[in-house]
Structure 1
Amino acid sequence: MSGPLRALLAVTAALATLAVVWVLGMRRKDSVVVDLQRRVNRRLLNPRTMATAGRPGAEAAVVRHTGRRSGRAYETPVDVVATGDGFLVGLVYGPRTDWARNVLAAGAAVVVHEGEEHAVDSPRLVPLESVAEHFPRAALRAMKAFGVTQCLRVERADAAVTGT
């Protein structure tokens, strides 16, 4: 086996190992893996996602919430599923993310989805199993693969507040 081929195989094996460690870490909610992924998302992925989040046809919605300690206004991109009376968000990192804790503490937020702002309230944690029928099959498979067991459910406080 030639040197370049051996190097390529070693790199491939290392990447495969990292991928397995990452998936298992996310599935087990290992704090090192989850915190690293959250930092990557916050610095690299979220700013790019926010460029289109909440707009018609966008993959992600925006949750506008207030910091429970700072009182600052925040916007966080999330994948939501609209239900008849509100929205569901699969908690990939678990319920201890800052945005979820802020929404739960405040009891309200605004969800920007498909170009419309919706005031929401009554946030509560619900088992994924109890709301699984609302999610597309692919999303449900992905959430189960990453060990998602809970969702944040919010209810529309009123009709769409304004168009965006």
Structure 2
Amino acid sequence: MIGPSEKTMTDHTGELHVVTVDVNGVRRTASVEARKLLVHLLRDDLGLTGTHVGCDTSQCGACTVDIDGQAVKSCTVLAVMTSGSSITTIEGLARGGGALHPVQAAFHEHHALQCGFCTPGMIMSVRQMLGQNPNPTESEIRHGLAGNICRCTGYNNIVRAVQSLASEAPRHD
């Protein structure tokens, strides 16, 4: 996932580095300061605001994205560390004709969202969880979601949504 970025120029805030990543299947390049977090590159520079900033301390999981096949809290990763990586955000899940990804559809069907703020991170985490364990128990689901906080306490419906996918046992990549 990680590689050194190419230095470009210096401004009054520090050196800028060129970061090139594939985001949702599209190659994107940006010049960023070394301290810029991936979540801010995605939201501020690339306009992908589905990735939410919830706590800025890596506790809530609202900023979870997929980096090279791993669900990662994007507030814990410097943008320069992702140069050369493939990133999938919540916007990248529903492709071709606008059909929802199976995890998104299950969340909708089982009312697994209230305010929706945690939903993108939850969906990205569930997607990885089901990829690793396509038929988790309720306990495994709850444990797998431990890194994501829902302030509306919608956990029961979130668990039901995941269980509906687990019972179907398809692959959820």
TM-score by length of 1: 0.29
Q: Return the TM-score normalized by structure 2.
A: 0.28
Greater radius of gyration (CA): 1
Structure with greater proportional strand content? 1
